[in-house]
Amino acid sequence: MFRIGICDDEYTISSQVENILLKYAKLNYLEIDIEVFSSGEEMCKFIEEEHVFDLIYLDIEMKLMSGIEVGKKIRRTLQDHKTDIVYISGKDGYEILFILKVMIKK
């Protein structure tokens, strides 16, 4: 079973991501388990209770705790370096920052 976490404070976005993943799993005969969270705090609490994910989709901008902060907590505080993290956003501009970051590192 492949465990996936989705964290986004906008229900429509998290619902779209979940539906895409469920369709993909069905088409490819994959068994997945998806947990959806509406806040970074809620996701962190769930993970701190010894739950693990193989893959997490994190919204970059959320109200109290951003996806970036959640990712840092997962890596630094919880020492989880196995879980893959994908940052998502409904806002324009983040893809440019990512491309620039990649180009600077080369």
pLDDT tens digits, one per residue of 91-102: 665 444 444 344
Q: Which pLDDT belongs to residue 92?
A: 60
Residue 79 — left, alpha, or beta (φ > 0 → left; ψ -120 to 50 → alpha)?
left
How high is the mean pLDDT of the chain?
Answer: 86
Domains annotated on the chain, with CATH: 2-105 (3.40.50.2300)
pLDDT tens digits, one per residue of 19-57: 999 999 999 999 999 999 999 999 999 999 989 999 999
Q: Which pLDDT belongs to residue 5?
A: 98
Q: Among residues of the chain, what percentage have pLDDT more than 90?
A: 70
Please give the average per-residue pLDDT across 80-85, as a whole number: 92
Q: Please state, in angstroms and rounded to a whole number, the distance separating the CA atoms of residues 98 and 45.
A: 28
Q: Which is nearest to 53 in space by CA: 4, 6, 105?
A: 4
